[in-house]
Amino acid sequence: YYGPPQVPATSAEPARPYAPTVIQNSANPARSDLATTPVTRPGEGGATVQPLYARPGATPGQFELYTRPPPAPGQFEAFVAQALGRPLPRFGASLILSGGRGFATGPTTTVPPDYRLNPGDELLIGVTGSVEADLRLVIDAEGRIFVPRIGPITVAGLRYGDLSDALSRRFAEQFRKARVSVIIGRLHGLTVYVTGYAVSPGAYTVSSLSTLVDAVLAAGGPSAAGSFRSIQLRRGGQPVADLDLYDLLLRGDKTRDAVLQNEDVLYVAPAGPEVAVSGAVNSEAIYEAKAGETLGDVIRFAGGFNSLADESRLIVSRLADLDRAGSQQLDFAVAKRFPAERGDIVRVLSLAGVARPLERQAILATIEGEVDHAGRYYLAPGSTLADLLAKAGGLTSGAYVFGTELDRVSVKAQQQASFDKAIGDLELSAAALPLSTPGGTAEKAASATARSQAALAVVDRLKQHKPDGRLVLSLEPEARALPGSLALEDHDRIIVPPRPKTVGVFGAVYQPGSFLFGPATRLGAYLRLAGGPRKIADKGDVFVVRANGAVLSSQQDRGLRDRPALPGDVIFVPVRTSRGTFEKLLDVATLVYQFGIGALAIKAIGG
């Protein structure tokens, strides 16, 4: 346990936890236990090694370090995390954990003119003119400073803004034309006591400029059971102020943030009723409600609704309804009058991410390539491809309709889900390969491990490939028109290419490349132009990707070589391997990356 830190009485900076250091833990991103790392403290002139406490950071694989352990979450925080499926912080916790940045009084803080001088303050006095002197004087316990050849001068209780004039008058009594300047060199320290439900209650030495907020932050702020809404200041046994930190956090109002005096006592009251607010609000968090406050007030604490909130549907879960009706759905006009109760969970639903019927969706579609007026067009719900072509002025004479590419957001999402599942299955199989290898020599085991590592490396490369969402159109190679009745969806992108002039042949051939397309030429002729398959080629696993995105495989069609070639065809001849799936991955991954062939080509892997 590391108790409340203390600073010397001459220090102008109150003790506090220092700001977090974010570090990367690539070996074990989930680890968040006690760590040790060098930390440079302000003003100490070097690095000191000390234990730091860690908690998971906002970015996976990172965690934040603090000089004291973060407050343990309360029971309501755990209850909310279970109900929502994710943790929700208490409002104000980020201010406390960050070490009170921006609120603690630093050693270079400018002393305001209204500051009243106290015993222990150090004054730097400069005198020029008929006499010259540089004096460094400390106000004694009786509130006086002693100036040579002048005597004692009482300054305690005097405004700092009036000090220069007061000293000039006293010097003028002894010296003619003496000019006096004075600044405060160092402020004396105060001892205050933080009690109640603070993270680290105890005695603290703080600057005489410190306020109630500074002392609370020095003590780590309210604990999980402590209140952010009631921090009481008691002086000489009498209440002086009751600070609501929400005034500061939500409105920037520090008018109730009283300046501390020696022997002040701060009491952090127990937390009041807590309400969780999640969903379409500007600041999701757990908020504390005072008596008489409503759910409308709590949503106001959360910054109000964001731009996508559905104000007609708020889901309110109350502790009293757990064994009865469950959650209630309320309109905001009704909910804002509901008294806030302890344990409430308010979910503000969002209008985003909800698919609407196609006949109600306005359409913004893009058409490019061989059309008279390529561009983006806004169309009414229910519009078809024919409507878009009419706006774009129709196809040009050079359009290769068969090769038209239609990219669709909904298709891309479906492809990505299937792609992720396939990659996950491959990754699991590759990782388990050494385990599934039957017993044998050490060489066989090492070979299985090497194959597994190679396969995992290829899977990692494939993970970076993203499906393009291409929808393969059922068109004849000599088609002259697009399917005009095809219903469009929002964000559709249509690319009408010019007629290609080549056929590509790649892989295990003697001369890979692109060859000029000739009418009535078969696929086998282009293989011969490329020198034919090499000895290492797998002749039974050749596949072709057509300009419309379709894939033809020799495993599906043994007469593939005798099929007529089409402009834009890409023929790929893989290397013959031991017929394992992982050995084929590298060939297909290479094709995907070098030539941009879509995810449809991956189905040729397994045969």
Asked if residue 387 lies in contact with residue 444, where contact means CB atoms within 8 angstroms, the answer is no
Cα separation, 276 vs 88, in Å, equals 8
Fill in the DSSP letter of residue 139. -
pLDDT of residue 386: 96
**267, 542, 554 from 508: Cα distances, Å:** 79, 10, 15
* Cβ(251)–Cβ(271) below 8 Å: no
β-strands 493-496, 363-369: how paired?
parallel
Strand partners, 589: none
So what's the pLDDT on residue 563?
A: 93
Q: Token digits for 310?
A: 């559905």
Neighbouring CB atoms inside 10 A of 484's CB total 12
Q: Would you say 216 and 269 are in contact if contact means Cβ atoms under 8 Å apart?
A: no
Cα–Cα distance, 289 to 340 (Å, whole number): 7
Structure tokens at 93: 């916790």
**Cα distance between residue 151 and residue 26, in whole Å:** 67
- Report whether 215 contacts 204 (CB < 8 A): yes
> What are φ and ψ of residue 295, in 5° steps?
-65, -30
* Per-residue model confidence as pLDDT tens digits over 473-487: 989 999 999 999 999
What is the pLDDT at residue 96?
Answer: 66
Rounded-to-integer distance, Cα 570 and Cα 512, Å? 11
From residue 423, how far is each of 389, 431, 434, 458, 566 by CA, in Å? 38, 12, 19, 10, 31
Residue 238 has a pLDDT of 94
Rounded Cα–Cα distance for residues 415 and 427 (Å) = 18
Q: What local confidence, expressed as pLDDT, does residue 564 receive? A: 94
**Cα 217 from Cα 202, distance rounded (Å):** 12
- Domains located in the chain, CATH noted: 18-67 (no CATH), 122-186 (3.30.1950.10), 189-270 (3.10.560.10), 274-350 (3.10.560.10), 360-470 (no CATH), 500-576 (3.10.560.10)
Stretches where the chain sits below pLDDT 50 are 1-51, 56-61, 98-104, 107, 579, 586, 589-607
473: which DSSP letter? P
- Per-residue b/e over 243-268, b at no fewer than 16 CB within 10 Å? bbbbebbbeeeeebbbbbeeebbbbb
pLDDT value for 178: 87
- Residue ranges of the alpha helices (H) in 341-397? 385-391
Burial of 594 (0-12, 13-18, 19+ CB in 10 A): exposed
**C-alpha dihedral sign at 525, 529, 530, 536:** positive
